[in-house]
Structures are given as structure tokens and as C-alpha cells.
Amino acid sequence: MTLVPLPAFIAVSATLFFIGVAGVLVRRNAVVILMSVELMLNATNLAFVAFSRRLAVAGERGSVFVVFVFVVAAAEVAVGLAIILAAYRNRPTVDVDQLDEMKG
């Protein structure tokens, strides 16, 4: 059985991760930025699982870490959405460019 080599998975993970980074950097809609962050988290999950399955030194620890990333992602998206809603209530916009009260 020909296995897909480990570097291929890592490359896919890195690609998706930087797509997420680009999304965070270029989009101005807060909800889309949140989605991009989720993409990044998921990309790291792929790397974790790949290492867990294909590197002897990683063992189950990679998979366990993925579980924790799930937890963090769930918490992050809940709080993130709460912040977006709270900010939206103060200023009716989800355009992060207009949330510039911290301008020096």
C-alpha cells in the first residue's frame, strides 16, 4: 500500500494555514476574519494529526493536542462572536476598519 508521504500533509496544512493568515490580513468583515482564524486552527490540526500518525516520537500526544485545539477553537469562536456582537451593539458595523477607537 502506497502511503501518501508525511511532507504532503504538512504542505497542505501550511497552505491552508497561510490562506487563513491572508484572510485575517485582507478581509474587513469581522465574521470572515473569525472564519479565517478557524481555518488556521484547523490547518494546525492537520499537522498535529499527521505528526501523530507518522512520526514515532509524537505518538498519541499529537492527537490529544488536537482535542485541546478543538476545545480552544470552540471557546474562541464563542467569545469572538460575543465580542463581535457587543462591538456591533456599540457601533452598528462589523467592519473592523471602522472600529478604530484605539487610534493613537
In whole angstroms, the minimum distance from the beta carbon of 52 to another protein comes to: 7
Q: Where in 19-48 is the site for another protein (CB under 8 A)?
A: 19-32, 34-36, 38-39, 42, 45-46
100 binds another protein (CB under 8 A): yes
**Single-letter residue type at 2:** T
Q: Which positions from 56 to 95 touch another protein by CB under 8 A, shown as an x/- string? A: xx-xxx-xx-xxx-xxxxxxxxxx-xxxxxx-xx--x-x-
Based on the shown chain and the rule CB under 8 A, indicate whether residue 17 belongs to the binding site for another protein.
yes
C-alpha cell at 55: 512520526
Q: Is 18 in the site for another protein (CB under 8 A)?
A: yes
Give the integer Cα–Cα distance in Å for 12 and 43.
Answer: 8
* Residue 7 lies near another protein (rule: CB under 8 A): yes
Separation between Cα atoms, residue 66 and residue 71, nearest integer Å: 9
Q: How far is CA 62 from CA 13, 54, 71, 86, 102, in A?
A: 14, 10, 14, 35, 39
